C-alpha cells in the first residue's frame, strides 16, 4: 500500500469533511445573531445571571456588576412570562435531581480514592522503600489504580452527572429515562470496583488506559450504554428548536466513548505494534473525544448562564466542535514518535496535532470575548472562578500538546515526567476544575439546599490552585531536565533520575495540597447532603421565586 497516499487522503478527507460540515451549517454559520445561542435562556432572562453557589453578598455583588452592563428592564407581563418559564425549569431540574445526585456522589468517592492513590504513588517515587511489603501497594499497581479511579471513576461520574442535569435544561423538557441512568451508574461502578480490585490483585490487560480486564470491561460498556439512553429519549421529547452547542459536544461524546472502549477492549484482535497504535488511538481519544467535549459542554452552558449573557459567537463554538471532531481523533500517534510504527502514521499525528490549534483558539477567543466586561464577576461567583480558570487551562494544555507533538520537542519530553505534567494540565487544570465549578452550580439545585460553608469553597479553590501550580511547574521543569540529561550521551542514565528527585518531591507537596482541597470539597459535599451547617437563605429551589423577586428589586434599585 502506498503510504503517502494514505497519509494524504486521510488529511484531505479530514479537511474536505470539515468544509462539508461547515457548508451544511452555513445558514446558521453566517447569521448575524444566532437564535441557538439564546436557547439556554428563558425569554427576558438575558442580563440576569444564575449562580446557586453564591451566597447573598456575592449575589448582590454580581447583580451590581451585571447591572453596570446595562440590561433592559422587564415589564410586568414579561416578568410574569419569565417567572412561568423559570417554574418549568425548576420542574426540569427536579426530574434530573436523583440521577445527578447518584453520579456526583460516586464522583466524589472516586475523587478521594484517586487522590490518595495518586499521592501515595507520587511519594513512592522518591521514597522507593516505603510500603513495599504488600503487592497491591507497589508503584506499578497503585499508579494504575490512581489512573483508573480518576479516568473511569471521578471523570465519567462527574461529567455524566453534569450531563444528566444539563439535558433537561438544554432541551426544555423533563429528563426521560432517568432510572436507566441510575441503573447504568450502578453497573458502571460495580465494574469499576471489580476492575480496580483486579489491578490491585495483579490481573490486568497490560495496556495503559486499558488495564481493566475486558471481561470486567463489559460492565462498563453495558453501564455506559444505559447511561446513554436518557440522552436518546430526552432528545426525542425536546421542546427546543435548536440544539445548543453543549448538546453537540455531549451527544457526540456519549456516542464516541462506548465505541472507543469497545474497539480498545476487543479481545484477541490486536497484536504487537498495531496494538500500540490502537492503544494510543484509544488513550488520546478518550481524553479528546470524551472528557474534553464533556467539559467544554459544561463551559458553554455555565459560563454564559452565570454572567447572563449569550456566548459571543455561537458559530465559532460550532466551528470549534467540528474541527475538534475532525482533528482530535487522529493525533494519538504522537505518543509513538521515534517508535517502531509506520512513518506516515507519525507524520499524520503531528500534522493533526498542529491542526488542533484551530478548535482550541476558536474556543479561547470565544470564551474571552464572552467574558469581556464581566471579569469582575470572578470575585463573586465560585462556579465562574473554577470554570474560567479551567477554560484557560484548556487553551494552555492544548497548545502545549500541539508543541509537544513536534519531533524536536518530543525528542526531549517523550518518556519523561514532562508528559505526566502535561496530562495533568489537561485532566486536572482543565477538566477537573471545570467539573468542580459545575458541581458547585448544580448541587444547590439538586439538593434544594445551599452550600453551607462558603468559606470552604474558597479554601478548596486556593488549595487546589496552589497545589496544582506547584505540581505542574515542578514536574514540568523536572521532566525537561530529565529529558535533557537522557539525551546527553556523556551523562550516565542515573543522572536523569537524580536530577528529577527535588521536583518529584515538589510534586508530592503539590499533590498533598490538592488532596487536602479534595477532602475539604468532599467534607463540604457531605455536610450539604446531611443538611448540616448554619441555615442561610434556606433551600435554593423552594425559594426560587422569592429570590428572583429580590434580584429584580436589586436590579431595579
Partner 1 sequence: MHDEFKLLSGAMVTLALATSALVIVPFMQLNPVQPPAGLKPYTSAQLRGREVYIKNGCIYCHSQQPRDKSQAPDDQRGWGRAPVAADYYYDKPHLLGTMRTGPDLFNIGARQPSADWHLGHLFQPRAYTPGSIMPSYPFLFEVKDAAEPGDRVLTLPPGYTPGGKVVVARQEVLDLVTYLQGMDHTYPVLPEAKK
338-397 positions binding partner 1, by CB under 8 A:
338-345, 348
Out of 168, 223, 332, 454, the only residue in the binding site for partner 1 (CB under 8 A) is 332
Out of 38, 301, 322, 461, the only residue in the binding site for partner 1 (CB under 8 A) is 322
Residues 6+ apart with CB under 8 A from 240: 39, 170, 171, 172
Instruction: Check residue 197 for interaction with partner 1 (CB under 8 A).
Output: no
Nearer to partner 1, 245 or 389 (CB): 245
Cβ atoms of 51 and 383 within 8 Å: the answer is yes
Instruction: Check residue 125 for interaction with partner 1 (CB under 8 A).
Output: yes
Instruction: Check residue 330 for interaction with partner 1 (CB under 8 A).
Output: yes
495-514 positions binding partner 1, by CB under 8 A:
496-498, 501, 504
Nearer to partner 1, 256 or 374 (CB): 256
Nearer to partner 1, 206 or 534 (CB): 206
SS3 338: coil
How many residues does the structure list for the chain?
557
CB 223 → partner 1: shortest distance, Å? 21
Out of 97, 157, 171, 289, the only residue in the binding site for partner 1 (CB under 8 A) is 289
136-165 positions binding partner 1, by CB under 8 A:
138-141, 143-144
Cβ neighbours, 10 Å, residue 123: 19
27-56 positions binding partner 1, by CB under 8 A:
none
Instruction: Check residue 207 for interaction with partner 1 (CB under 8 A).
Output: yes
* CB burial of residue 129 (10 Å; 0-12, 13-18, 19+): exposed
Distances from the Cα of 471 to the Cα of 416, 481, 517, 531, angstroms: 15, 16, 14, 34
CB 6 → partner 1: shortest distance, Å? 6
Tell me the C-alpha distance between 429 and 12, whole Å. Answer: 33
SS3 210: coil
Instruction: Check residue 416 for interaction with partner 1 (CB under 8 A).
Output: yes
Contacts 24+ apart (CB under 8 A), 30-34: 30/315, 31/315, 34/314, 34/315
Instruction: Check residue 418 for interaction with partner 1 (CB under 8 A).
Output: no
- Binding segment for partner 1 (CB under 8 A), chosen from 324-332, 382-390, 452-460, 461-469, is 324-332
Tell me the C-alpha distance between 515 and 130, whole Å. Answer: 19
Instruction: Check residue 215 for interaction with partner 1 (CB under 8 A).
Output: no
Nearer to partner 1, 403 or 459 (CB): 403
Tell me the C-alpha distance between 384 and 502, whole Å. Answer: 34
**Main-chain dihedrals φ then ψ at residue 319, nearest 5 degrees:** -60, -45
CB 287 → partner 1: shortest distance, Å? 13
CB 341 → partner 1: shortest distance, Å? 7
Cβ atoms of 72 and 47 within 8 Å: the answer is yes
Nearer to partner 1, 77 or 241 (CB): 241
Amino acid at each position: 500500500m502506498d503510504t503517502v497516499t494514505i497519509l494524504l487522503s486521510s488529511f484531505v478527507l479530514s479537511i474536505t469533511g470539515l468544509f462539508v460540515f461547515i457548508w451544511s451549517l452555513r445558514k446558521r454559520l453566517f447569521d448575524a445573531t444566532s437564535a441557538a445561542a439564546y436557547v439556554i435562556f428563558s425569554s427576558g432572562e438575558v442580563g440576569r445571571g444564575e449562580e446557586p453557589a453564591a451566597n447573598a453578598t456575592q449575589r448582590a455583588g454580581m447583580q451590581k456588576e451585571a447591572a453596570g452592563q446595562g440590561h433592559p428592564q422587564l415589564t410586568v407581563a414579561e416578568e410574569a412570562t419569565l417567572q412561568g418559564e423559570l417554574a418549568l425549569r425548576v420542574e426540569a431540574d427536579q426530574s434530573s435531581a436523583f440521577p445527578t445526585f447518584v453520579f456526583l456522589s460516586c464522583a466524589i468517592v472516586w475523587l478521594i480514592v484517586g487522590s490518595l492513590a495518586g499521592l501515595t504513588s507520587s511519594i513512592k517515587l522518591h521514597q522507593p522503600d516505603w510500603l513495599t511489603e504488600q503487592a497491591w501497594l507497589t508503584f506499578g499497581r497503585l499508579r494504575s489504580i490512581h489512573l483508573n479511579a480518576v479516568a473511569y471513576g471521578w471523570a465519567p461520574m462527574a461529567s455524566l452527572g453534569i450531563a444528566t442535569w444539563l439535558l433537561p435544561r438544554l432541551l426544555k423538557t423533563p429528563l426521560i429515562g432517568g432510572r436507566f441512568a441510575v441503573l447504568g451508574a450502578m453497573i458502571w461502578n460495580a465494574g469499576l470496583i471489580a476492575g480496580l480490585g483486579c489491578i490491585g490483585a495483579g490481573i490486568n490487560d497490560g495496556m495503559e488506559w486499558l488495564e481493566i480486564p475486558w471481561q470486567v470491561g463489559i460492565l462498563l460498556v453495558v453501564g455506559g450504554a444505559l447511561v446513554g439512553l436518557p440522552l436518546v429519549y430526552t432528545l426525542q421529547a425536546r421542546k427546543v428548536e435548536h440544539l445548543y452547542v453543549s448538546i453537540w459536544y455531549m451527544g457526540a461524546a456519549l456516542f464516541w466513548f462506548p465505541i472507543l472502549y469497545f474497539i480498545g477492549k476487543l479481545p484477541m484482535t490486536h497484536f504487537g505494534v498495531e496494538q500500540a497504535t490502537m492503544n494510543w488511538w484509544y488513550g488520546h481519544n478518550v481524553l479528546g473525544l470524551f472528557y474534553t467535549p464533556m467539559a467544554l459542554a459544561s463551559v458553554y452552558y455555565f459560563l454564559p448562564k452565570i454572567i447572563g449573557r449569550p456566548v459571543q459567537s455561537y458559530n465559532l463554538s460550532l466551528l470549534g466542535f467540528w474541527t475538534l471532531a475532525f482533528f482530535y481523533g487522529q493525533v494519538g500517534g504522537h505518543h509513538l514518535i521515534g517508535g517502531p510504527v509506520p512513518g506516515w502514521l507519525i507524520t499524520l499525528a503531528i500534522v493533526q496535532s498542529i491542526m488542533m490549534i484551530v478548535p482550541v483558539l476558536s474556543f479561547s477567543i470565544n470564551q474571552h470575548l464572552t467574558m469581556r466586561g464581566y471579569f469582575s464577576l470572578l470575585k463573586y461567583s465560585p462556579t465562574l472562578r473554577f470554570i474560567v480558570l479551567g477554560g484557560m487551562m484548556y487553551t494552555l494544555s492544548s497548545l502545549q500538546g500541539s508543541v509537544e507533538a513536534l519531533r524536536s520537542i518530543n525528542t526531549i519530553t517523550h518518556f519523561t515526567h514532562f508528559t505526566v505534567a502535561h496530562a495533568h494540565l489537561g485532566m486536572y487544570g482543565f477538566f477537573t476544575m471545570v467539573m468542580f465549578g459545575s458541581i458547585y452550580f448544580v448541587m444547590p439545585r439538586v439538593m434544594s439546599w445551599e452550600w453551607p460553608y462558603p468559606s470552604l469553597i474558597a479554601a478548596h479553590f486556593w488549595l487546589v490552585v496552589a497545589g496544582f501550580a506547584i505540581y505542574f511547574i515542578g514536574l514540568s521543569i523536572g521532566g525537561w531536565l530529565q529529558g535533557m540529561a537522557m539525551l546527553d550521551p556523556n551523562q550516565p542514565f542515573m543522572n536523569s533520575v537524580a536530577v528529577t528527585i527535588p521536583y518529584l518531591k515538589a510534586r508530592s507537596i503539590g499533590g498533598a495540597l490538592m488532596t487536602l482541597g479534595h477532602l475539604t470539597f468532599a467534607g463540604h459535599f457531605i455536610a450539604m447532603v446531611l443538611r448540616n451547617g448554619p441555615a442561610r437563605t434556606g433551600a435554593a429551589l423552594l425559594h426560587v421565586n422569592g429570590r428572583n423577586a429580590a434580584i429584580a428589586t436589586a436590579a431595579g434599585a
